[in-house]
């Protein structure tokens, strides 16, 4: 399915240096040796993965996930197919419904296409034919390529796509991440982009994943991966002040032990929880994230803190900085069932007061960012303008930018009742 591309010589060299294709699977126990994680390499068709492709590790699903009924699943697929056929109309006229359906979870068979439509990356892809190949042909800056190569085997090492050193998944990851550094040389590569790109690659071919990554980096989470990492630190502060309102108990606890937001939310936010939650939850969160934007990241973070530190009993278990950090870095899967996560999310949505507060916070944030931007050097401004122009060119007279879902946010006050 993937277009076969000759990896650049530079990469080939390093790939050949990577020893032992299944080396990374040791530690899987007795099954490890017999798993064919990359059929091309070892010719084995035996796969013992969960339904998401995980061979083991903390994000492996034990198969106890209750699947939705077949007829319900089929209904949903039909609804989504219908939306695909009239996508622009659905988004402009019935966005609430689209949002609700994203909250219920996008059918896995249609997820890749839905993500690309929701993020507008499909449009970028269509309006830039050949661009990805062009970027791939460029040599790339060794400064970035060096770090990228070191990261290839450190993303989802327990996922069948990425387990084998130099395997297809890692090759595609290299292509996507390298292409981005060529596409935005001033941005280069940030290590947190690798897990994000890897999640995309689990669902779509490299070129599609690339444009989707572009949208995440530039529209959904602008500045998160840029040198200086100011945006993530700023959002950390905002997140913490939101926590004060949403869950004072957790807030006081974290403050008491001087656990800065940056200590636990950096990975959560920069990787959009892809390293944090059970996989079924990751997908649900990403479905909502692609539809509604960064606010989903904030909300999920708040729900998690509330779950982990929101009651006297829970706090009793984590009396200390170390204990608290351990808990937040290894969230027990049973405490974040997907229905709970989404339901919690909805209940918050119903509390309109809180919602308004949040919107205010977000506005404040935007203002802060504007101020920050003003303070930035002229050169950066020019850079942005240039990027804007380029984007517009690329979009080729597209009507409106709905990527971040910010415009729709105001309409989102009506509480959807999620029966999923």
Partner 1 sequence: MAKQYDVLFRLLLLGDSGVGKTCLLCRFTDNEFHPSHISTIGVDFKMKTLEIDGIKVRIQIWDTAGQERYQTITKQYYRRAQGIFLVYDITSERSFQHIMKWASDVDEYAPDNIQRILIGNKSDEEEKRQVATGQGNKLAKDYGMDFFETSASTNYNITESFTRLAEQVLAANKKDLDLLRASVTDELNLAALEEEEGITDGAAASQKGCWC
Binding-site ranges for partner 1 (CB under 8 A): 17, 23-27, 57, 146-147, 150-151, 153-158, 163, 190-192, 194-195, 226-230, 233, 257-258, 260, 262-263, 266-267, 270-271, 275, 319-325, 329
Please report how close the Cβ of residue 270 comes to partner 1 at its closest, in angstroms. 6
Report the distance separating Cα 420 and Cα 401, nearest Å. 29
Phi, psi angle pair for 393, to nearest 5° = -55, -45
User: 357 with 244: CB under 8 angstroms?
Assistant: no
Q: Which is nearer to partner 1, 269 or 290 (CB)?
A: 269
Distances (CA, A) of 77 to 70, 72, 86: 10, 9, 15
Please report how close the Cβ of residue 159 comes to partner 1 at its closest, in angstroms. 10
Please report how close the Cβ of residue 298 comes to partner 1 at its closest, in angstroms. 17
329-343 as b/e: b if 16+ CB within 10 A: eebebeebebeebbe
Q: Which is nearer to partner 1, 130 or 228 (CB)?
A: 228
Torsion of CA 303, 66, 53, 403, to 10 degrees: -50
Please report how close the Cβ of residue 404 comes to partner 1 at its closest, in angstroms. 22
Q: Supply the DSSP symbol for 7.
A: P
Which residues have a Cβ under 8 Å from the Cβ of 11 and sit 6 or more positions away?
145, 149, 171, 174
The 3-state DSSP class for residue 107 equals coil
Q: Which is nearer to partner 1, 124 or 271 (CB)?
A: 271
Please report how close the Cβ of residue 27 comes to partner 1 at its closest, in angstroms. 6
Is residue 375 exposed (0-12), middle (13-18) or buried (19+ Cβ within 10 Å)?
A: exposed
User: 349 with 416: CB under 8 angstroms?
Assistant: yes
Q: Which is nearer to partner 1, 329 or 382 (CB)?
A: 329
Please report how close the Cβ of residue 247 comes to partner 1 at its closest, in angstroms. 19
Distances (CA, A) of 172 to 150, 277, 409: 14, 24, 34
Alpha helices in 184-272 (DSSP H): 193-201, 206-215, 230-246, 248-256, 261-270
Report the distance separating Cα 325 and Cα 322, nearest Å. 5
Q: Which is nearer to partner 1, 258 or 410 (CB)?
A: 258
Please report how close the Cβ of residue 273 comes to partner 1 at its closest, in angstroms. 12
SS3 content of the chain, % helix, strand, coil (to 5): 65, 0, 35
Please report how close the Cβ of residue 267 comes to partner 1 at its closest, in angstroms. 5
Q: Which is nearer to partner 1, 92 or 380 (CB)?
A: 380
Please report how close the Cβ of residue 24 comes to partner 1 at its closest, in angstroms. 4
Q: Which is nearer to partner 1, 80 or 156 (CB)?
A: 156
Q: Which is nearer to partner 1, 323 or 376 (CB)?
A: 323
Q: Which is nearer to partner 1, 68 or 321 (CB)?
A: 321
């Amino acid at each position: 399915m993937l277009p076969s591309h000759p990896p650049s010589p530079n990469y080939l060299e390093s790939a050949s240096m990577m020893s032992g294709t299944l080396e990374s699977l040791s530690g899987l126990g007795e099954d490890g040796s017999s798993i064919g994680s990359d059929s091309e390499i070892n010719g084995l068709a035996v796969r013992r993965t969960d339904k998401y492709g995980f061979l083991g590790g903390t994000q492996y699903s034990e198969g106890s996930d209750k699947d939705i009924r077949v007829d319900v699943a089929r209904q949903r697929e039909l609804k989504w197919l219908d939306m695909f056929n009239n996508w622009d109309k659905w988004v402009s006229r019935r966005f609430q419904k689209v949002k609700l359906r994203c909250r219920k979870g996008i059918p896995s068979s249609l997820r890749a296409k839905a993500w690309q439509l929701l993020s507008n990356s499909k449009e970028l892809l269509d309006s830039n034919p050949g661009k990805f190949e062009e970027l791939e042909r460029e040599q790339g800056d060794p400064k970035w390529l060096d770090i990228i190569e070191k990261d290839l085997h450190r993303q989802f090492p327990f996922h069948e796509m990425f387990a084998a050193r130099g395997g297809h998944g890692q090759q595609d990851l290299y292509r996507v991440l390298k292409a981005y550094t060529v596409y935005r040389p001033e941005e280069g590569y940030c290590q947190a982009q690798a897990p994000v790109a890897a999640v995309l690659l689990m669902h779509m071919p490299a070129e599609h994943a690339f444009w989707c990554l572009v949208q995440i980096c530039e529209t959904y989470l602008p500045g998160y991966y840029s040198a200086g990492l100011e945006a993530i630190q700023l959002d950390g502060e905002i997140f913490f002040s939101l926590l004060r309102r949403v869950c004072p108990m957790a807030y006081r606890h974290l403050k008491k032990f001087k656990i800065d937001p940056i200590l636990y939310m950096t990975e959560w936010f920069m990787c959009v929880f892809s390293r944090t939650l059970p996989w079924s939850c990751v997908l649900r969160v990403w479905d909502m994230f692609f539809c509604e934007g960064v606010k989903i990241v904030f909300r999920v973070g708040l729900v998690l803190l509330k779950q982990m530190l929101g009651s006297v009993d829970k706090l009793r278990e984590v009396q200390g900085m170390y204990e608290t950090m351990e808990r937040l870095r290894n969230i027990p899967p049973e405490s974040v069932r997907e229905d709970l996560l989404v339901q919690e999310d909805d209940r918050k949505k119903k509390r309109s007061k809180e919602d308004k507060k949040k919107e205010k916070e977000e506005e404040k944030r935007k203002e802060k960012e504007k101020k920050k931007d003003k303070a930035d050097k002229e050169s950066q401004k020019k850079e942005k303008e240039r990027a804007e122009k380029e984007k517009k060119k690329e979009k080729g007279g597209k009507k409106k930018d709905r990527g971040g879902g910010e415009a729709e946010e105001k309409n989102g006050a009506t509480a959807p009742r999620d029966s999923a």
